[in-house]
């Protein structure tokens, strides 16, 4: 197409037709961007993949038909691998190969024989756990961390330096006596099971979908554009290979590991020197037995020839080295029968289907329940009650159904139909796409109990003494029907109830009293507003300072805040404009709950400073830059004025820079700004 020449017939006097098309395109763009954010940033999608694809296709079709409205900022230009496109591609220092794999000892022995054919000497091996994470390259110049990238296609990956800076085990500076001029190493970013479980607990508390397994979290976190999300994820890296070094390489893999440790890297735990292949096979068996005791996921062991000169001699095939092999463990999935599907009601009324299974041992743990996520998942799996299914256990937490064994069907299987009414309160259930919800809100007992549990949780009032059981009990005794009832509980109400004795009662009452002093962010989170997790609660508290200001804000003001989209804004105003909710807040205050301002970073490097950005930032988004300023206690404004303290000048900075210079305002380059707030 030639610019300026439209392929469409002239549409003058079209009765607003073109205006409508333009509007439709804008609407679709906004909608898709919102869903991208919910999916990638908040990990809490509200529509099915199918519905998302539909929206996406619709927009693409309209843009193709009316190219005059296809703008550069359209998600159709950046989505595909939606987040990845925004990372810079980098070439690796050396090829990042993958491993050939074997599944049994015969395979391992065959590997040994193939090596021996070329190396006519005794071969000793190093056996390492095959960590289930994602492969990363880290680059150091003169001992300083310069950056890192994902494996990508092995030749080029994506620059994820900012995210890597938040990962435990990435030394900012190398230590020890032997610091090479240049060094690049390979390692695995992963999440320990304990941290994964904690994260999923938080996800569920925030009303967001839990992650499937630690590997998914590691992969997803590395591809986050907002490094603060990655920072909240407790990731670690274990390094196991020197990809390139300016100094001479050690003689063996074992010495390389020792050198990596000396320089400050974490290396895979439980590495073992093996004098021959039998010792390596024994290591595999031992590790497989210990697999469930380990606090990290491994899916096998890697057997590597120890001598680096032997490694060099054997060389590589197209994509695998000849000197190493992955000896896999038996997969952690088993076949069992799905006996029934029931539904659970969550805090915000979301109804989640749950598969009840014929108990089966998967990797040493008996599994009798598995999540089915939503109706979309059930449809995609095509699962019926009575089906035989493959149950996967990942990260030891939420087992899920990977596939249905359709060949095992007898014809007696029954299609699952979602109930029409809420199992907790009987309200007619409502559907939005594939998501089903009980509309009764806090008059639904299950939602109320979950809301109370959310209020007492660590991220909110932090009242330790409550468990699900005690909330259930007090609810059934009419002592705890809403959050504020917590503060009306008396000694005599509790004493004598089930397991409530003197000490437990005293302890709970003390904790309740203590919880009356609460910071604004925790209080907001504790209210259990739909779509308001801990992070958004902090954003609101920081932005508004007082609850009254939040209550009097409108949707427009709220959506002006970067992290808050229309969906979240609507939930907030919907909740805070509801009279019943306001009365509940008033009751809490009457019981003596005092809401304090959240402490901001008064000691930050930019405390009290007004910062203006001008020009194009090359290494970070404006959003990220703004957040960095705020994290350091500063404030970003758009125009250079009397109150401006610092101007950060990116590429092609214009009049704002001139103005700053004429007013003698401090000017920082992007590099200087980075050094101040990030590096």
Chain contacts with ligand IVH (rule: CB under 6 A)? 97-99, 128, 130-131, 135, 188, 240-241, 268, 302, 321, 324, 326
Cβ proximity of 460 and 523 under 8 Å: yes
Closer CB to ligand IVH, 325 or 538, in the complex: 325
* Residue 130 known to be catalytic: yes
- Of 19, 20, 1, 13, nearest to 67 (Cα)? 1
**Contact 351/438 with Cβ under 8 angstroms?**
yes
Single out the residue of 271, 266, 297, 269 nearest to residue 195, CA to CA.
297
CB of 266 to ligand IVH, least distance (A): 12
Q: Which helix (H) or strand (E) holds 243?
A: strand 236-245
Which are the contacts of 625, defined by CB distance < 8 A and separation ≥ 6? 613, 617, 636, 648, 673
Pairing mode, if any, of strands 666-669 and 517-519? unpaired
Strand intervals (E) in 398-520? 400-404, 430-432, 435-437, 517-519
Nearer to ligand IVH, 287 or 324 (CB): 324
On whether the CB atoms of residues 347 and 444 are closer than 8 A, the answer is no
DSSP string across 560-616: TSTT--HHHHHHHHHHHT-HHHHHHHHHHHHTT-EEEPPPP-TTSTTTT-EEEEESB
Structure tokens at 568: 């979240």
Residue 537 tokens, joined:
């609660």
C-beta of residue 644 within 8 angstroms of C-beta of residue 608: no
Given 130, 328, 384, 530, the catalytic residue? 130
How far apart CA 110 and CA 113 sit, in angstroms, is 5
Q: Which H or E element spans position 555?
A: helix 555-559
> Of all residues in the chain, what percent are helix, strand and coil, respectively (each to 5)?
40, 20, 40
Contact criterion met (CB below 8 Å) for 604 and 630:
no
Structural contact between residues 187 and 261, judged by C-beta atoms closer than 8 angstroms: no
Q: Is the dihedral of CA 57, 62, 63, 69 positive or negative?
A: negative
Write out the two tokens for 388.
């035989």
What does the DSSP 8-state code read for residue 406?
A: G
Q: Which residues are catalytic?
A: 130
């Amino acid at each position: 197409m030639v610019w300026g020449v439209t392929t469409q017939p002239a549409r003058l006097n079209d009765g607003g037709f073109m205006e409508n098309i333009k509007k439709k395109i804008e609407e679709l763009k906004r909608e898709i961007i919102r869903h991208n954010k919910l999916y990638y940033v908040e990990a809490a999608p509200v529509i099915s993949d199918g519905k998302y694809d539909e929206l996406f296709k619709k927009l693409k079709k309209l843009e193709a038909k009316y190219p005059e409205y296809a703008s550069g900022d359209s998600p159709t230009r950046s989505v595909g691998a939606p987040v990845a496109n925004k990372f810079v591609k980098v070439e690796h220092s050396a090829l990042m190969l993958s491993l050939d794999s074997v599944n049994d000892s015969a395979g391992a022995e065959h590997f040994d024989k193939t090596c021996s054919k070329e190396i006519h000497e005794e071969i000793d091996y190093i056996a390492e756990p095959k960590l289930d994470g994602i492969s990363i390259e880290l680059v150091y110049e003169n001992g300083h961390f310069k950056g890192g990238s994902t494996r990508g296609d092995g030749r080029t990956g994506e620059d994820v330096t900012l995210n890597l800076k938040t990962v435990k085990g990435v030394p900012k500076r190398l230590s020890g006596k032997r610091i090479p001029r240049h060094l690049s190493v390979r390692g695995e970013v992963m999440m320990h099971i304990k941290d994964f479980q904690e994260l999923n607990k938080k996800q569920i508390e925030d009303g967001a979908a839990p992650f499937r397994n630690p590997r998914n979290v590691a992969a997803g976190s590395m591809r986050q554009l907002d490094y603060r999300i990655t920072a909240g994820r407790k990731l670690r890296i274990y390094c196991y290979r020197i990809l390139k070094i300016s100094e001479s390489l050690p003689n063996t893999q074992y010495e390389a590991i020792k050198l990596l440790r000396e320089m400050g890297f974490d290396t895979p735990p439980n590495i073992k020197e093996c004098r021959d292949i039998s010792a390596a096979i024994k290591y595999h068996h031992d590790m497989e037995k210990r697999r469930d005791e380990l606090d990290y996921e491994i899916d096998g062991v890697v057997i590597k020839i120890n001598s680096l000169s032997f490694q060099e001699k054997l060389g590589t095939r197209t994509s695998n080295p000849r000197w190493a092999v992955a000896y896999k463990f038996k997969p952690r999935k088993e076949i069992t029968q799905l006996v029934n599907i029931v539904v659970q009601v969550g805090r915000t009324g979301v109804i989640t289907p749950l598969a009840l299974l014929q108990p089966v041992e998967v990797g040493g743990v008996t599994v009798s329940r598995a999540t089915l996520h939503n109706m979309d998942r059930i449809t995609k799996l095509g699962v019926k009650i009575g089906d035989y299914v493959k149950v996967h256990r990942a990260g030891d937490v939420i087992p899920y159904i990977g596939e249905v064994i359709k060949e095992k069907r007898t014809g007696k299987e029954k299609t699952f139909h979602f109930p029409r009414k809420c199992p907790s309160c009987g309200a007619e259930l409502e559907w939005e796409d594939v998501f089903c919800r009980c509309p009764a809100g806090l008059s639904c007992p299950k939602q109320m109990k979950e809301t109370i549990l959310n209020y007492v949780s660590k991220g909110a009032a932090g009242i330790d003494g409550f468990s699900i059981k005690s909330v259930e009990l007090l609810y059934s005794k009419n002592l705890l029907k809403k959050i504020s009832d917590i503060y009306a509980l008396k000694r005599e109400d509790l004493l004598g109830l089930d397991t409530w004795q003197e000490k437990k009662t005293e302890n709970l009452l003390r904790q309740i009293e203590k919880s009356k002093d609460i910071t604004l962010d925790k209080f907001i989170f504790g209210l259990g507003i739909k779509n308001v997790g801990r992070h958004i609660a902090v954003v609101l508290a920081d932005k508004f300072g007082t609850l009254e200001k939040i209550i009097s804000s409108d949707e427009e003001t709220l959506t002006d805040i970067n992290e808050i989209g229309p969906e979240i804004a609507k939930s907030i105003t919907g909740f805070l404009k509801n009279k019943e909710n306001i009365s509940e807040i008033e009751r809490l205050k009457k019981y003596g709950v005092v809401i304090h301002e959240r402490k901001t970073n008064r000691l930050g490097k930019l405390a009290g400073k007004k910062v203006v950005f001008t020009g194009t930032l090359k290494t970070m988004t404006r959003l990220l830059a703004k957040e960095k300023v705020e994290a350091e206690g500063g404030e970003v404004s758009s125009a250079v004025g009397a109150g401006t303290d610092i101007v950060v000048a990116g590429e092609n900075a214009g009049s704002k820079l001139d103005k700053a210079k004429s007013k003698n305002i401090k000017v920082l380059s992007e590099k200087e700004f980075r050094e101040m707030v990030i590096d």
